[in-house]
C-alpha cells in the first residue's frame, strides 16, 4: 500500500480504484505527527490535540464539573475532558455512531432536532460549565456556502450555550477563518467577559478552521437596539 519516501516521508502507491484525492489524504495521514501521537496516546483522533492546545492557552478545563460535547464523533474531545477532569459529567451528541467512552453519555441524533437540547440537559443533571462544539457542516465545495452552513451550526451551538450555561461558564467552538460576522461576534461579547479567536498548532495550516473561546458567561444578552 505504501513505500518509503525521502527523509522518512511515506509515499502511497497508486492503485486501481484509488483516486488521486484519496492518495493525497492517505499520505497526509501517514505522515502527520499528530495522527501518530494520537494513536500512541490512545486518542481517537488528532482533533484531541486542538482542545488540549486551546486549554493550554486559555485554561478552561480545570474545575469543569458538567460538560456538553456537540459534534462528538469520534470522541477525542470527550476523551480529553475525561482524562483531565475525571469527575466531570460529560454528555455528547452526533449524527454518527460513536463507540462508548467511559463516563460519557452519548446520543446518536441530530443536534438540530428540537428534542436534542432537552435530552442533553436531562442527562447532564444540571447547568454545564463548559459547552464545546467541533461541529462542521458537510462541505459542498463552494467556500461561501460551506462557511454559511457551518456558521449556522455555530450559532445554534452558541444559542444552546447561552440558554443553558452556568454563570461564569465557557463556550468553545470551531468556526471558519472569518470567526463569524460582526453582529454574531458582538452578541458573544455581550454574553461573555472574554471572547478570543485562536488557531491551535495542531490545526492544519491549509485549513480554514479557527476556534472561538468565550469565557466568563454573564447571562443571555438582551437583543441589541437598532
* Residue list, annotated binding site: 75, 77, 94, 110, 134
What's the rounded Cα separation, in Å, for the pair 117 and 93?
10
| 156 neighbors 112 (Cβ within 8 angstroms) | yes
**Burial bucket for residue 221 (CB in 10 Å: 0-12, 13-18, 19+):** middle
Point out the annotated binding site for S-adenosyl-L-methionine.
75, 77, 94, 110, 134
Q: Under 8 Å CB-to-CB from 184, ≥6 apart: which residues? A: 151, 154, 155, 158
Catalytic residue among 37, 62, 174, 189: 174
Q: What kind and span of H or E run contains 14? A: none
Q: What is the 3-state secondary structure (H, E, C) of 81-123?
A: HHHHCCCCEEEEEECCCCCCCCCEEEEECCCCCCCHHHHHHHH
| 196 has catalytic annotation | no
Please name the residue that has the C-alpha cell 447547568: 127
What's the rounded Cα separation, in Å, for the pair 48 and 32?
14
Return the active site residues. Answer: 174
Amino acid at each position: 500500500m505504501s513505500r518509503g519516501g525521502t527523509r522518512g516521508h511515506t509515499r502511497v502507491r497508486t492503485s486501481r480504484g484509488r483516486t488521486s484525492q484519496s492518495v493525497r489524504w492517505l499520505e497526509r495521514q501517514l505522515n502527520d505527527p499528530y495522527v501518530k501521537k494520537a494513536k500512541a496516546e490512545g486518542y481517537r483522533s488528532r482533533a484531541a490535540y486542538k482542545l488540549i492546545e486551546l486549554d493550554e492557552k486559555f485554561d478552561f478545563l480545570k474545575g469543569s464539573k458538567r460538560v456538553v460535547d456537540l459534534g462528538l464523533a469520534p470522541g477525542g474531545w470527550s476523551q480529553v475532558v475525561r482524562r483531565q477532569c475525571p469527575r466531570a459529567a460529560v454528555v455528547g451528541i452526533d449524527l454518527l455512531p460513536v463507540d462508548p467512552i467511559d463516563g460519557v453519555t452519548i446520543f446518536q441524533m441530530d443536534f438540530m432536532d428540537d428534542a436534542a437540547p432537552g435530552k442533553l440537559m436531562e442527562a447532564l443533571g444540571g447547568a454545564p460549565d463548559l459547552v464545546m462544539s467541533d461541529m462542521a457542516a458537510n462541505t459542498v465545495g463552494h467556500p461561501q456556502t460551506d462557511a454559511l452552513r457551518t456558521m449556522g451550526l455555530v450559532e445554534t451551538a452558541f444559542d444552546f450555550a447561552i440558554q443553558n450555561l452556568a454563570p461564569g461558564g465557557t463556550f468553545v467552538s470551531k468556526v471558519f477563518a472569518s470567526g463569524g460576522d460582526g453582529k454574531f461576534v458582538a452578541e458573544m461579547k455581550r454574553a461573555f467577559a472574554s471572547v478570543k479567536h485562536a488557531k491551535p498548532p495542531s490545526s492544519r495550516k491549509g485549513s480554514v478552521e479557527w476556534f472561538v473561546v468565550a469565557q466568563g458567561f454573564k447571562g443571555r444578552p438582551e437583543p441589541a437596539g437598532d
